[in-house]
Amino acid sequence: MHAAHHTAKVSTPALEFRTSPEQYRHWELTIDGPVARLVMNVDESGAKFEGYELKLNSYDIGVDIELYDVTQRLRFEHPGVRAVIVSSGKTGMFCAGANIRMLGLSTHSHKVNFCKFTNETRNALEDASHNSGQVYLAALNGTAAGGGYELALATEYIMLIDDGNAAVSLPEVPLLAVLPGTGGLTRVVDKRKVRRDLADVFCTVEEGIKGQRAVDWRLVDEIVPKSKFDARVSEKALELAQRSDRPGDETGIALPPLDKHVDESAIHYPFVSVSMDRDGHSATLTIDGPDCDAPETLMDIKARGAEFWPLAVLRAIDNALLHLRFNEPTLGTLIIKTNGNGERVAAYDALLWQHHDDWLVREIMLFARRTWKRLDVTSRTTFAFVEPGSCFTGLLADLLFAVDRSYMLDGRLEDNPQPAPRISLTEMNFGPLTMGNGLTRLETRFLGDEAALENARSLIGRPLDAPAALDAGLVTFAPDDIDWEDEIRLLLEERASFSPDALTGMEANLRFAGPETMETKIFGRLSAWQNWIFQRPNAVGEAGALKLYGTGRRAEYDRKRV
């Protein structure tokens, strides 16, 4: 973690999440058969914003945007890669974690959103290891501190060089008066199964733990002498690769630059658009259904590549959610609409379901799951409006169960020639699109009501009008054409009148019924507490630890426990 004095706030121009390997400044990717090597070699002068340098492999949002991009490309463009070694290009330092000067200068909202994005990216590494047959291995050729160790924790096997100096640490509490921001506390005890008392020691020891003690405490899996480190890492990566079911003889599909156009009031992509109502503090995300029939074969899917409708839609929605999160924080209500032919959507669903064992189709479905999860954890009100011309079917119907409320028009609108809307469920709603709690959205919706869930399953493939959808518990309300406009207007006006802070807390508490998992702990418990801690004087006040780190001055704490 990089020490520096803090002065003015960082300016935060609009963030762009589109990038590609030829634009990377911080990561180097090499591939040797089934093993990829992802080397973190952060450009000190490559900070995303002004006012700090990225020394000691410390990172900011720009470093993580590249990491997210490269992990996506490894999944889609490199089907033959079965193991990924994450290592460092710096001698004696794996990663110093999130740049402290950046954190000290950033706005509160940027700090919180930055932590959320790094959490989502680390979860995606675990998802690749657990579900894609692309296992991640951390080769710590030097110290891993704070977020650097949290990056290692997201991999399935951690190897630490045994050179007398390299250590792992989570020093945020003693040094900065904040929490490790990327799931470190949860992964230490839930994933690594570190004993609680030893974890308490570890998380309060500034210098961290090294050598055999790191293995004994389960903080790392293996220590290796410097002279044997590279050879042992390669050996272990090949061993992990042998367990994978990824194909060795397939060609990946390219992920070309996403076609995106932004103006003052809208964002446009193929199949997706976002209109922004700044006066009403809302954004409307509209998803267009496919413009052609579903292809007939698996070969056709691969021929279409990134233009295959489900993949094109997911890439656009993923980018739109991130764009809104970081660049439009005052648009507190997100309205989701669809437009298109529901039968076509159902045909694409059926095609994915038929070929779900194929590596590419599996990746598309996993990407859908991750993208809908990004919606689940968005800190804004989410509504879905089912209107004439909608195509909330299968994959898209799951959005009705992801939002905070859904409204479906009962009948037609006087000035709209299109028939009354219908929604349809498919097999996609009953398996692959699980939430962070490990349940499908319908299982979460009908928690404790097995009869309602089974009834919903019996409706697969049946187009449901508003009364039928309401009766099945699949939508919240179904106003008729006389009340529709007034109900929607009053709904949006009421929501905009509430405290954004109270709404964020309320929504996050209501969305994840059911079992608690490592993922819900990270996004619920950590996000909530970090949100609070990032506003506390003990951390970010003028005499707070985060502000004073590196100045030689001691932080002054408010000693009251709350």
Residue 144: which of 207, 187, 85 has the closest Cα?
Answer: 207
Give the pLDDT confidence score for residue 556 in this predicted structure.
Answer: 94
Give the pLDDT confidence score for residue 10 in this predicted structure.
Answer: 45
Residue 139: which of 155, 121, 117 has the closest Cα?
Answer: 155
Kindly list the distances between the CA atom of residue 58 and the CA atoms of 61, 66, 148, 550, in Å, as whole numbers in the listed order.
11, 14, 8, 15
Task: Phi first, then psi: give them for residue 325, nearest 5 degrees.
Answer: -60, -45
Give the pLDDT confidence score for residue 6 in this predicted structure.
Answer: 39
Rounded distance between C-alpha atoms, residue 75 and residue 119, angstroms: 18
In the block, residue with structure tokens 């446009």:
268
Coil, strand, or helix at residue 314? helix
- The DSSP secondary-structure symbol of 224 reads E
Contact 393, 342 (CB under 8 A): yes
Give the pLDDT confidence score for residue 8 in this predicted structure.
Answer: 44
Rounded distance between C-alpha atoms, residue 507 and residue 377, angstroms: 9
In the block, residue with structure tokens 């199964």:
193
Query: Which residue ranges of the chain lie beneath pLDDT 50?
Result: 1-11
Kindly list the distances between the CA atom of residue 390 and the CA atoms of 339, 350, 408, 422, 460, in Å, as whole numbers in the listed order.
4, 19, 10, 7, 18
Rounded distance between C-alpha atoms, residue 260 and residue 242, angstroms: 39
DSSP 3-40: -----SPPP-PPP-----GGG-SSEEEEEETTEEEEEE
Give the pLDDT confidence score for residue 3 in this predicted structure.
Answer: 40
Alpha helices in 162-297, H assignment, sequence order: 172-176, 184-186, 196-202, 211-216, 229-241
**Amino acid in position 158:** I
Rounded distance between C-alpha atoms, residue 186 and residue 103, angstroms: 21
Coil, strand, or helix at residue 545? helix
Give the pLDDT confidence score for residue 550 in this predicted structure.
Answer: 87
Give the pLDDT confidence score for residue 526 in this predicted structure.
Answer: 75
Contact 58, 99 (CB under 8 A): yes
Give the pLDDT confidence score for residue 7 in this predicted structure.
Answer: 40
Give the pLDDT confidence score for residue 538 in this predicted structure.
Answer: 94
Q: Which long-range contacts (CB under 8 A, 24 or more apart) does 326-329 make?
A: 326/14, 326/15, 326/61, 326/110, 326/113, 327/14, 327/15, 328/276, 328/283, 329/109, 329/113
Task: Phi first, then psi: give them for residue 556, nearest 5 degrees.
Answer: -110, 115
User: What domains can you pick out in the chain, each with its CATH number?
Assistant: 21-244 (3.90.226.10), 261-509 (3.90.226.10)
Q: Which helix (DSSP H) or strand (DSSP E) does residue 330 occupy?
A: none
The pTM assigned to this predicted structure is 0.96
